[in-house]
Chains A and B, each alone.
Chain A
Amino acid sequence: MSSGVQSEQEKRALYWLGERLIDYRHPVSILVIIVTALFAYWSFQLKLATSFGDLLPQSHPFVQIHNKYAGTFGGANNIQLMVEAKEGDIFNVQTLARIYKITEAVDQVYGVNHNQIDSIGHRTTRYLRAQSGGFLKAEPVMLSIPKTADDATNIKRIVHNTESIYGILVSLDDHAALVRANFIEGRLDHRRTFGEINEHVITPFEKGWFGALVKGIDPLHQDQPAPAIVETVYHGTAAADAGLKTGDEIQSVNGKPVADRISLADEIAVYKPGTAVTLGVKRGSGVENVKLTIPEPDLQIYVAGEPRLYGYVYSYATDVFWILTVTYCLEWILRWMYFHDWRGALRPTLTGVIAAFWGLGFVHLIGFTLDPLILVMPFLITARAVSHAIQMHDRYYEEFERHDWNQRKAIVAAFAELFVPTLSGILTDAFGVLVIMLVPVVMLRNLAIVASWWILAITVAELLLNPIVYYYLRAPDPEVVMARDRGWYKRTINRFTDWNLSPTGKIATMVFWLGLAVVGAFLMRGLIVGDPTSASPLVWSDSPYNVSHSHIQDKFGGVEPLIVVAEGHDRDAMKDPQVLRTMVKFQRFLERDPAVGYSFSLGDILRSVNMVFHELEPKWGVIPNTSRDVGQTFFVFFANLPPTETSKYVTPDYATAHVTFFCRNHKGENVARIIKRCEQFIAENPMDKATFKLAGGLIGVLAAANEELVRNDLLMNILGFGTIYVIVLFTYRSWAAGIYLLAPLVISNIIINAAMAVWGIGINVNTLPLVTVGVGFGIDYGLYIMSRIIEEIRVNGDLDLSIREALVTSGKAVSFTAVAMVMSTALWTFSNIRFDAIMGGLLAIWMFVSFIASETLLPVTISYFRPSFIVKQAARQPHAAEVSAAAAVS
């Protein structure tokens, strides 16, 4: 027997190789164990992290503009935190004090750029104040924590009279305030940020609030204990009702000691509103018990923005661990049910684990980190490894029976016969995935290299180690081996194969797949690049993140920044009235796009300052006529501010400033349209002294990423299929073989793309790797079946008989692998991370479709068209290979 169209010499060589592997089993296995141990060590060093820069196509002009100005004008990693009063407006002492403290807490979160915080409670948010003697001074809206009702009224007046604040940092209905903070890209630590915001920013002022300000940790003495000492008690609050006083040290809640402000808030937040708790309060020298009724929270805090989103994704990462565990257990159970044998159940896992160590260790070795969003990818590769292993295992049992229960002969035969389909399956995957490297995104390129290596590593376990492992293992009982050929599973496969190969079955199969392809091709026209939904597609639409996101959108109209830089040709270009007016005109133009909420530019500040400078007369709220007047107005506002505070609006030499548009969402189509509109406006409105440059902010970099994906999509598809075709060409030495094998794949691809279009999953940096890897998904199913048909036809010379034989042997193993994998992949749909869930679901469908297509369409087309590269094998001398192989063995 022989598989593929190898020459006798090649086949002999494979049998010889199998024998030698068993002879030299000790050195080979020791070597593999040492290397695997090394990789295992490295893989435990691996970190789960997302490097934002790696997700961007660094060569794209948008990203270069983004990188150039992200440090000054603000990047793509903003959080928006909305403080909403449940009843009434925010202009009361208690709420304003909390906004002030919340801003302070945000400022202390790790990685926040201290000069890029916008909030009415932050020092960089200023308004103009007339001082006696006609002098004007730009002062922070809140110099210190507001204490009296007059302070609150005054702040309200300032807010309503400052156009750069009203509607932007305070909602037009006065019910909500916004705190915007930008993160330094190099210091993004999503898990830490997530935790700190929850503990320090949200809980103490929302659920953990009981009406009193509690002293925090002294920033200068962070290592010293900072007991929860009451600073201020507000009137009419639970704290006031409980009789808490300034200076009280709260030591415990219901007997549970609290060390500081944070643990006090955490403890308070545990209780339901209306519950009475007993606080242990130290007053003077004694400790008293104070009854506190937990109040209904009067504020709601919502947080949105990329760092927050990733924070949630990381917090769900434990899901992934559980899903993997359950998946593996399920796999073991299924395999045990199939093989009735613990070897069969566990041995494929060995292949998966070794490959995983080699892959993960390699990830660490090249200095890359794992993004939790692409954890499905390793899972997918492991699935491939296991799938190959099951084929081998099943074949081993088959050969064991055929070779009269001679273990060594069976091992060598299984190894030699499956060597070609296994290797070409692995190679198509490994090279197919390298196609991703076409996209100039660091993360995707790293991923391509890693995935390719990882897939290649399957060869180590599957081809190098496998015969040795089988040799070490006790041979299975003949009873166990024979049991595989009985039972309902085998009977179902037999029955289905017979129907499928009957004339009716053939026609039904062809019509079915053709119809599916047409419907799929029609539906997939809805597939889009970028994110198709307004909420984040990474998490479910009712997840806390998306709920916050939509609340903030409702109140403030948009939170996702698009930064267009007005790059001056010379210093002071930003004092030119034409430039400033064009900026404002740009704002008014783009704000009319339904996806743009509001915008902000230096022109807004200028107009606001000019108006305040002239005693609040709105008629002065315009861009002045001359650059001299513009310069004077800027001088009034910026003169006594440090450059770190002004640089978020304009560079210190007034050469360059920006227009920031806050968009309602980042749907792919909206991003593309907004960018197109920007380009249109810029072309129609040239400025003498400056040029608009696209584009920073989240929308800008997403636009860049989407453009790169579209640009390379066609090429990737062609290369992806091309790679498979070429490898198949060499495997079977036939031009036609590739077409027969690719047809099921193309149809699966069409159906998956259609499913993505229907379910609203766009192609983006996250989905692309999976979709591209999926191009070759299921090629191994086809390879195993086709190789087996060729093997069989050489023995019996009859095509239809050979097809039937291939389907009930290799096809049966394929069907089991596929069913097991589909079931376990489907488990991912339980993930809290919508992305993982959807991807799991998609991959399950993908595997299922390409499995069914390989099992039905492939044999039917072969039977119908009778390709010559298979049929001519019938003429060959049967048993020749077996004879020569036997000679080689002895």
Chain B
Amino acid sequence: MRRASIPAGIALLASTLGLGVGCHREVEMIPLIERTIYITDRFYDVQALTKDRAFVVGYGGKIVETTDGGRTWEQRPSGVDTALYAVRFTDDQHGWISGQEGIILHTADGGKTWQQQESNAVFVDPGDPDQTKHPLYLFGLNATDNDHAWAVGDRSILTSTNDGGKTWRARKVAMEVDISGGESLAAADPIFYNVRFTDPQHGWVVGEFGKIMYTADGGETWKEQEKTLMEGTGIFDPLDLPTMFGVHMLNPQNGYAVGLEGHIAHTTDGGQRWTYDQQEVDYPVADPLLSVFQFPDGTAWATGAAGEVLRKESPDAPWKRAKLGQDVLTWLHGISFSDPQNGWMVGGFGLIYRTTDGGNSWLPSQG
């Protein structure tokens, strides 16, 4: 027994020792947080299709869809990881998205899958011996039916399709006259931020230097309409006009454009004359307004940087700051209503706001 005790003791000792040192656990990989919407998301555009169904697009190739009024969101694969700027559905199955790097995405199955289309929106530096094609940002997109769509962006690029996106024809929209006067190269090809067509013929594009361009032939030729805005403002140089970021035309006569320093321009005669709207605010809107939306009854909404949201409650009422019921401090970009009661606003920090009472109250949708 005495002899046996030695190996037995060693075995006991070794096993306890082994227990003691072998106790460090493997790193437990608790799962990453899986959400559809993060605070780091930036949403640039929204389109409400029905009361409960909406599409939102944003940074990092993100497309999310809700079919239950924002209670839940589902991410749709875009196949890209750069920014998506604008979304436009023409019916409940067909839609387009435009984005960074000249991206055009198309869906024919209600947004479940998206296919990339060749936008041809590229820029070639005339002085570049290699003639490298640099893709261009396509900030704005609009479509009137399943065949006709237009996208605009950096360096006055316009690309359009009339065959449902099989082919896109891109061109630089020439300015009527060279207003740059040799002052700045940028003035020769201002950035286009938004595009809006009321039918396949009549459309508007807005952009840098207060540009409001109008076409009556589906985008072949363009006229500038912004000069009427200089009247009575003390501005004599068209280059000093505030950049316009958003445009919304209710019909070929009646529409709005919004831009820098809270400017809201309005036309009722198809753009022959644009005037700045009055605002009734306790302190002036200094931040840019980014998007605008008008209802057939003449009421309208505009969203902008630093949480600015303006509202026009009747056709004759002045614009006022809307009461959102909470402090919104980041920018809000897209705004879209499916009917006068139900609408959406989206913006930075992953914000998606929804209203079901015509905009009297807005509640965040968390996803």
Contacts and interface: CB of A to CB of B under 8 A. Distances in A.
Given A585-B81, A866-B2, A868-B2, A721 B24 contact: no
Instruction: With a 10 A CB-CB cut-off, give which of B24, B44, B101, B348 has the most chain A CB atoms.
Output: B24
Contact of A166 (B5, B83, B260, B330): B330
A739 B348 CA distance: 68
Contacts of B191: 614
Nearest to B4: A865
A619 B25 CA distance: 46
Given A161-B287, A866-B2, A742 B29 contact: no
Given A615-B260, A618-B305, A750-B19, A669 B27 contact: yes
Contacts, number: 151
Contacts of A527: 23-24
A616 B330 CA distance: 11
B19 A625 contact: no
A626 B135 CA distance: 9
B290 A739 contact: no
B218 to A, nearest CB: 25
Contact of B6 (A529, A622, A736): A736
A677 B32 CA distance: 10
Chain A's interface size range is 35 or more
Interface in A565-602: 581, 585, 587-589, 591-594
Contacts of A672: 27
Interface stretch (A211-219, A308-316, A712-720, A776-784): A712-720
Contact of A160 (B23, B33, B307): B307
Given A617-B245, A739-B10, A867 B19 contact: no
B306 interface: yes
Instruction: With a 10 A CB-CB cut-off, give which of A157, A619, A669, A721 has the most chain B CB atoms.
Output: A619
Contact of B305 (A161, A581, A676, A866): A161
A753 B22 CA distance: 12
A705 to B, nearest CB: 15
Contact of B9 (A616, A677, A740): A740
B83 A529 contact: no
Interface string B286-297: 111010000000
Interface string A622-642: 100110000000000000000
B203 to A, nearest CB: 20
B38 interface: yes
Interface residues of B, number: 62
Nearest to B329: A160
Instruction: With a 10 A CB-CB cut-off, give which of A174, A625, A676, A750 has the most chain B CB atoms.
Output: A625
B40 interface: yes
B12 interface: yes
Contact of A710 (B24, B35, B287, B347): B24
A468 B304 CA distance: 91
Interface in A698-727: 710, 713-714, 717-718, 721
Given A617-B288, A736-B6, A740-B9, A525 B23 contact: yes
B321 to A, nearest CB: 15
A160 B10 contact: no
A721 B305 CA distance: 68
A793 interface: no
Contacts of B16: 517, 521, 746-747, 750
Contact of B290 (A172, A525, A618, A717): A618
Contacts of B243: 615, 617
B85 interface: yes
B335 to A, nearest CB: 14
A172 B351 CA distance: 13
Contacts of B139: 617, 619
Interface in A62-82: none
Interface string A666-697: 00010011001100000000000000000000
Contacts of A529: 24
B284 to A, nearest CB: 11
A134 interface: yes
A585 B30 CA distance: 20
A708 B83 CA distance: 42
A528 B60 contact: no
Nearest to B35: A592
A676 B21 contact: no
B23 A593 contact: no
A99 to B, nearest CB: 18
B112 interface: no
A702 B243 CA distance: 51
Given A134-B184, A865-B5, A626 B288 contact: no
Contacts of A669: 27-28
B1 interface: yes
B25 A525 contact: yes
B20 interface: yes
Nearest to A591: B40
Interface string A729-747: 0000001100110110011
Contacts of B5: 736, 865, 867
A343 B2 CA distance: 44
A163 B287 CA distance: 15
Contacts of A721: 17
A617 B329 contact: no
Nearest to B43: A618
B76 to A, nearest CB: 18
Instruction: With a 10 A CB-CB cut-off, give which of B19, B60, B330 has the most chain A CB atoms.
Output: B19
Contacts of A677: 29, 32
Interface in B73-111: 81-83, 85, 100-101
A865 B1 CA distance: 7
B30 A673 contact: yes
B137 interface: yes
Contact of B306 (A157, A621, A625): A157
Contacts of A157: 286-287, 306
B85 A742 contact: no
B57 to A, nearest CB: 11
Contacts of B333: 618-619
A588 B40 CA distance: 7
A749 interface: yes
A626 B25 contact: no
A524 interface: yes
A174 B286 contact: no
B331 A172 contact: no
B59 interface: yes
Given A593-B32, A615-B288, A625-B134, A524 B20 contact: yes
7 interchain residue pairs of minimum CB distance: A592-B32, A739-B9, A865-B5, A672-B27, A521-B19, A592-B33, A717-B21
Interface of B: 1-2, 5-6, 9-10, 12-13, 16-17, 19-25, 27-30, 32-35, 38, 40, 42, 44, 59-60, 81-83, 85, 100-101, 134-135, 137, 139, 184, 191, 193, 243, 245, 260, 286-288, 290, 305-307, 327, 329-331, 333, 347-349
Given A615-B243, A677-B29, 20 more contacts: A157-B286, A524-B20, A524-B23, A525-B25, A616-B288, A616-B331, A617-B243, A617-B288, A618-B331, A619-B333, A625-B100, A625-B135, A713-B21, A717-B17, A721-B17, A739-B9, A746-B16, A746-B17, A750-B20, A753-B20
23 contacts: A160-B306, A174-B329, A521-B20, A529-B24, A581-B81, A581-B82, A592-B35, A592-B38, A593-B33, A615-B288, A617-B193, A618-B331, A618-B347, A673-B28, A677-B29, A717-B20, A718-B21, A721-B17, A739-B10, A743-B9, A743-B12, A746-B13, A753-B20
